[in-house]
Amino acid sequence: MKKKNLFLALLLLISFTGVTGKTISNAQIQEQKIASLLKKMTLEEKVGMLHANSKFYVDGVKRLGIPGLALSDGPHGVRAEMNLHDWNYAGWTNDSATCFPPGTALAASWNRALAYQRGIVLGEEARFRKKDVLLGPGVNIIRTPLCGRNFEYLSEDPFLVAEMAVPYIQGLQSKDVSASVKHFLANNQEDHRTSIDVSVSERALHEIYLPAFKAAVMQGGSHTVMVAYNKFRGDWCSENEFLDREILRNELGFKGILMTDWGATHSTVKAALAGLDLEMGTEKKDYNDWYFAQPLIQAVKEGKVPMAVVDEKVANILRVMLETNMLDEKLREKGKMNTPEHQKAAYQSAVEAAVLLKNQNHLLPIDFSRLKSVAIIGDNATRKHCSGGLSSEIKTIYEVTPLEAMQKKFGSKLKINFAQGYEKQSVFHDGNNSGQSNTNTVDWKLIDEAVKVASESEVAILFCGLNHDFDTESFDRQNMKLPYGQETLIQEVAKVNPRTVVVMIAGSPVELAGIVYRIPGLLWTWYGGMEAGNAAADLLSGTVNPSGKLPFTMPVSLEQSPAHALGNFPGKDGKVNYEEDILVGYRWFDTKKITPQFPFGFGLSYTTFELSAMTADQKVYQPKDLIRVKFNLKNSGSAYGAEVVQLYVGHPGSSVLRPAKELKGFDKIFLQPGETRNIEISLKASDLAYYNEAAKGWILEPGEYLLQLGTSLAEIRQTVRIVVN
Ligand code: BGC
């Protein structure tokens, strides 16, 4: 070894060994760095790091080389640059980004690899834009079909949410950008979100509302968590000792930054002691007046908040900075923007999200080369959606609409007869939700035009559904109906053209009973992001095979769904009690034997799959064991495609109420026609436990459990009984 290299190696060795000569870990080195920086900081400098200095930025300490933090929305793309001190866009010309299909669409793909890939793309684009924290993913449970933010969230099932959120976070953070898992906790409605006080049982908290946050922190290693606007059991989430200290810090071991949602802070001392680190987004003009600014300095001076508590907060921020190489720009990911790979990822995400809900007589896929004419009908055929939804809105570099894609791909040989069909009658919130009311007027002139083009065409394709006047932050929907007279439109078109396909573009459940029996084809494509049109056209033509599955139950009507059946939405007198308890989503429908329009996990394909030979590796398991379930999956049809095999567990002999089935595993498997593969899904025996309130912990009851393998909640194809001791 050359002298210089020997010297370097020695230096390295010294820096990795403590005074005792023992090797010290990276974490210890990190903590030493943090402690040494803290020693050099004044109280004012420390507090300067604990509140924003503008809408999305936070101060650092320049003289010590500590950079400020740059944050940006949001879950499915990097939001365009906003003005520093108001909510208007800054008008940059280089901030158009890649736009992915939002949360429900991601979950509908049931593909963990896609979630990871999305994280990578978002991380690269966030770094290119010099952002340090991306405000997502949103992992709140879809409790009601009406929640305005369902489209941003993922699922009604905590396991599915967790399984998609973890790789997303890991992908994002691998690019030196911190995730901010939000909104902690129980932000399950938008109406009254800044005042509602949520009550949830301990069991529902642990079994339904907490698991995604737990996984995001403990498996995903999310660097930041955003507290919700609402109250939880009487206390604001931003100053909730139970949630923020007991659960998040002590139980989940969270060592990152706990930040507020924008304007969600309500106190200085209480919030500081409860464990909040960073105050974001209040409207007050002078940032020095914020709860975590001058008042915090004052509280420390008066002894109401110990310096150690301030140090803990600064340490949390520094730790996140070190984790993302913020103190060493040379090591930091540089990022890139709008690459062909990013756009390919957005396309794949749109394609794999689509759920084929009905396909009578194999109407789909359509061989457009054999057609002379097709009618394309509906406002959603030409509407762009990426720029809607409020904080998650994206200024995308492009967005292909379905009509554009159809014209480009098939228009040279095919006569495309477009008709508007229905018009968007709402205006995005004018302050009191009235934008959504009176939006069900049937426009017979538009319907007559649509009926005419449908009757003159061989196939009629309607692009219907919702838009971001409905699927939006800040407001819940008022009902589950298809707005703007679309139900009548679809019925009338179906009367004149037996080959009618509806492509539904929406992020939350809608009532389908009035149309589903009258049309042969129904494809649910969500908001498809920048590649929405290309994905829809390729799915309709069979260039790609639908492989998405519903991440929520599609009720026949609102009254079927638990919060509404029990009259617990949106609450009374400022309070909402989640009386349905653990029976959220399919857990309610399945346990109460209520047949929905479409069950959780449902989705068809252009090919067929056969599930067989299911086995568990043992008959009897101990609590520490891994349960390995094996089965064969065969693509028994003639098209390449993917099936999402779902593993549900039930404990019929339980001494307490358990949902009839609970999702505990899944795999998305792509197979060539005729191909068979042997697949393994494993779960821990301890995953079969329930949360016992008296014991304040998880209990695994001995007894017989059912392992059920299916292609949706309602299509269980194979069952194996096991015993847990
Ligand atoms: C939303 C957050 C968002 C923040 C910043 C809030 O209104 O609830 O999800 O990240 O605004 O735009």
Q: In this predicted structure, what is the pLDDT of residue 13? A: 45
CA distance 292 to 276: 9
Whether 471 is in the pocket of ligand 1, judged by its Cβ within 6 Å, is no
pLDDT at 467: 96
The per-residue pLDDT for 24 is: 75
DSSP letters of 207-263?
Answer: IIISHHHHHHHHTS--SEEEE-SSEETTEEGGG-IIIIIIIIIIIS---SEEEE-TT
CA-based nearest residue to 312, from 684, 38, 506, 656? 38
C-alpha distances (whole Å) from 346 to each of 99, 147, 466, 692 are 7, 25, 21, 42
Q: What separation in Å is there between the alpha carbon of 375 and the centre of ligand 1?
A: 40
The CB density around residue 340, as the number of other CB atoms within 10 Å, is 7
* Ligand 1 centre distance from Cα of residue 263 (Å): 9
For a pocket test of ligand 1, which of 69, 180, 224, 391 has the largest count of ligand atoms closer than 8 A to its C-beta?
A: 391
Q: What is the pLDDT of residue 1?
A: 40
Measured CA to CA, the distance from residue 387 to residue 394 in angstroms comes to 5
The DSSP secondary structure of 47-92, one letter per residue, reads: HHTTBBSSSSEE--BGGGTBPPEEEE--TTSPPPPBPSSSSSB---
pLDDT in tens, 570-622: 999 999 999 999 999 999 999 999 999 999 999 999 999 999 999 999 999 99
Structure tokens at 550: 């519903």
Give me 675's structure tokens. 């191909």
Q: Whose CA is nearest to atom 3 of ligand 1?
A: 391
Cβ of 555: how many Cβ atoms within 10 Å?
A: 27
Predicted TM-score (pTM) of this structure = 0.96
Using the mean position of ligand 1's atoms as its centre, give its distance from the Cα of residue 135 in Å: 8
Token pair, residue 224, equals 């930041």
**Cβ(634)–Cβ(610) below 8 Å:** yes
Alpha helices in 226-364 (DSSP H): 269-274, 294-301, 307-323, 340-353
Residue ranges in the chain modelled with pLDDT below 50: 1-4, 6-21, 431, 434
Task: Give the CA distances from residue 231 to residues 185, 239, 386, 427, 529, in Å, rounded to whole numbers and listed in that order.
Answer: 9, 9, 31, 30, 33
Share of the chain above pLDDT 70, in %: 95
What is the per-residue pLDDT for 341? 98
Name which of 342, 356, 350 is nearest 397 in CA terms.
342
- 244 part of the active site: no
Angle at 362 between CA 361 and CA 368, to 5 degrees: 125
3-state SS assignment for residue 374 = strand
Q: Nearest to residue 580, comparing CAs of 591, 568, 597, 590? A: 568
User: H/E element holding 691?
Assistant: strand 690-692
Q: Which of 73, 176, 197, 261 is catalytic?
A: 261
- Residues in the chain, overall count: 725
Q: Give the model's pLDDT for residue 437.
A: 63
CA gap 348, 642 in Å, rounded: 13
Tell me the per-residue pLDDT of 667-688, one tens digit each, with 9 for 90 and over. Answer: 999 999 999 999 999 999 999 9
Q: For position 18, what pLDDT does the model report? A: 40
What is the pLDDT, as a whole number, of residue 16? 41
Question: Residue 505 — φ and ψ, nearest 5°?
Answer: -110, 105
Residue 633: both structure tokens together? 């999956």
What is the DSSP pairing of strand 521-524 with strand 235-236?
A: unpaired
pLDDT in the model for residue 2: 44
